[in-house]
Amino acid sequence: MRIAIPTVILSLVAATSVYAAPAAPVQMDKRGWVIDQLKPVFEKALKTLECGACVAALVAAKDLAYLNRNWVLDAANSLCDDFNIMPADVCSGLVYSQGPVLIEAVMQASILSGDGKQICFQVLGACPPTGISSGTVTFPKVKPVNAVAPTHSGNLVDVLHLSDWHVDNEYVVGSEGDCNRPLCCRKYSDSPLTPKRKASSWGDYKCDAPIKLGADLLKYVPSVANVNFSILTGDVPPHDVWRQNKDTVIAAEEVAYSEMKKGLSAKVYPAIGNHEAGPTNLFPTKATGGDIQWLYDSLADDWSRWLPADAVNSVKNYGAYTASPAPGLRIISLNNNFCYTLNFYLYGKTKDYDPNGELKWLVAQLQAAEDAGERAWIIGHVSPSQTDCIQNWSALYYQIVQRYSPHVIAEQFFGHSHYDEFALFYGPGAKTAANAISTAWVGPSVTPYTNLNPGFRVYKVDSKSWNVFDSLTYVADMNKAAEWDATGATPNWHLEYSARAAYGAYVPINATQPLSASWWHDVTTAFEKTPAAFQQYWTYRHKSANLQAACATGSDCQKEMICDLRAGKSSDACSGISFSLKREDEEADAMDPTGLHSLYKRAEPKPWNVKNCGLTSSL
């Protein structure tokens, strides 16, 4: 999941020399003097997010880094402390874990030849988009003429979708549930003796999942599903992003996978999330170098209980794999952290649109599936539809989906946002129901972080076509957690909704047909025409926590949301990267307990982040 805090590291590091001040007196401490010069400049940069200022800051930071990289980090940490953006330990943890990779990327980048604007756009939304590359994917074979999806067998099997568990094995019952750090429900050195809101034993809306919450979820699943196999779309470790490292990540992984081994009898097919790295988000490519082999080795060991030997070896090499849970179906697990905008390793060479060869590998797996007459499920963490997937990578991925749909790619599954969502892919041409070719199912999070109920999905899937015929979302009402503790009860897991029943009321569907991309497009049209349908979706998106901001019928929020549902590639999304848009303002306030977002949202809206999201019905 993306949280607002790490984005400040770019500003902190880059802005350390954005101000061209006169030479400091020799007798004066240079570090202290420079910080004094930078305070007003840094504050202005945060408030305006001006493109020129951002690029100039990168140029200056690059020059300064040649003198002393550690000094840049020290200055950034001091700035973070002085501006009271976040507690001191969070500042230092983020600066000294994320900063070195960012500095190296800036030093390798051609700041004035487009890289600078690309960084400023993708990370902060401060510059206009640099434009989608005209490059195309090279395919081994042309698409078969009249390629069509297979027929359905009528036999449905249950598949469990878990995402964003974020298990916190340092969760402390009775600790502060409403703290000033990115993650609460832990004992910090400055925690109050008397908490404002005591953390229940089951979790809290500003906290990650205690071990017992996930264990109870797994215990509940067999009562509602005869699971054929499960998918896990990434992010097992917690959101303590300022202190995540190799040891904390491995500890969280061991706890979660041990619980899954005990709680699930069927095989699990996982994918890697951005929080699997330690430090968070930082996945080096083979070209950049960097220490990530420990993660691939650790996950290969954890996943070996479910995966065949060749898939385990692939995990060790790429963090990705392919495996067959049933005859005729190939699961392709992507490590698509190489499209993630906060993976700072990617910014040394922003024009390398497939920086670790992941897309080339994906094409090879899909071609093998096509040659074998197999269906394919693509699973990953960051949906290519989301704005924190780099636009050029997402555009190339979109081409791949168009090439191998609908006859090979049956479905796509992702996580990362924590919301209950979907996104649609279309063939060349207009975004219409007739032209919709594939659906990306974005799974709800197990963690209640932030202001969400914990949840999971069960899919009813045809065992021949491997298309989804129904999606059942289950949740527990976290606002009752204190009551569960007081009475000795367990979470009230229950069916929140069936997608087929809930939206079929607005767009009727034949019992013999799956929940296809065409049907989902018609559902988005119902969202435009029927206020009750959209408001129902808005509630379900937040897993019925009822803590979300309003998204009124006819508002820009609604237009953006429907636009995003039809945006399988990130450049088509209407919510934008900037924090200046209304819906992002409302949600980012809840996601950022440090107050940093209050600075961002004062910036003037950028025209490149406000798109034409008018309602255009295809019915």
Binding residues: 164, 166, 235, 274, 381, 416, 418
Give the 3-state secondary structure of residue 55. helix
Q: Would you mind telling me the total number of residues written for the chain in this entry?
A: 619
Annotated binding site for Zn(2+): 164, 166, 235, 274, 381, 416, 418
| 3-state class (DSSP) for residue 469 | strand
H or E stretch at 411: strand 409-415
Count CB neighbours of 198 within 10 A: 16
Round to the nearest angstrom and report the end-to-end CA distance of the chain. Answer: 35
Do β-strands 268-270 and 227-232 pair in parallel, antiparallel, or remain unpaired? parallel
What is the distance between the alpha carbons of residues 591 and 597, in angstroms, rounded to a whole number?
9
In single-letter form, the type of residue at position 460 comes to: K
CA nearest 125: which of 554, 507, 513, 610? 610
Residue 284's SS3 state is coil
User: Are 312 and 356 in contact, with CB atoms under 8 Å apart?
Assistant: no
- Gap between the Cα atoms of 617 and 619, Å rounded: 6
Strands 227-232 and 156-162: parallel
Task: Give the closest residue to 75 by CA, choosing from 103, 110, 47, 45.
Answer: 103
Distance CA 315, CA 238 (A): 22
How many helices and strands in the chain, by DSSP H and E?
A: 19, 12
> Is the sign of the CA dihedral 222, 225, 228, 233 positive or negative?
negative
Please name the residue that has the structure tokens 């404002």.
196
Q: How far is CA 233 from CA 177, 404, 444, 495, 619, in A?
A: 27, 21, 10, 21, 34
Residue 56: name the closest of 123, 3, 126, 6 by CA. Answer: 126
Both tokens assigned to 602: 């004062």
- Alpha-carbon distance values, 62 to 14, 332, 344 (Å): 8, 39, 15
488, two tokens: 């000795």
Cβ neighbours, 10 Å, residue 516: 20
Q: Contact 468/487 with Cβ under 8 angstroms?
A: no
How far apart CA 167 and CA 488 sit, in angstroms, is 22
Measure the CA–CA gap between 78 and 80, rounded to whole angstroms. 5
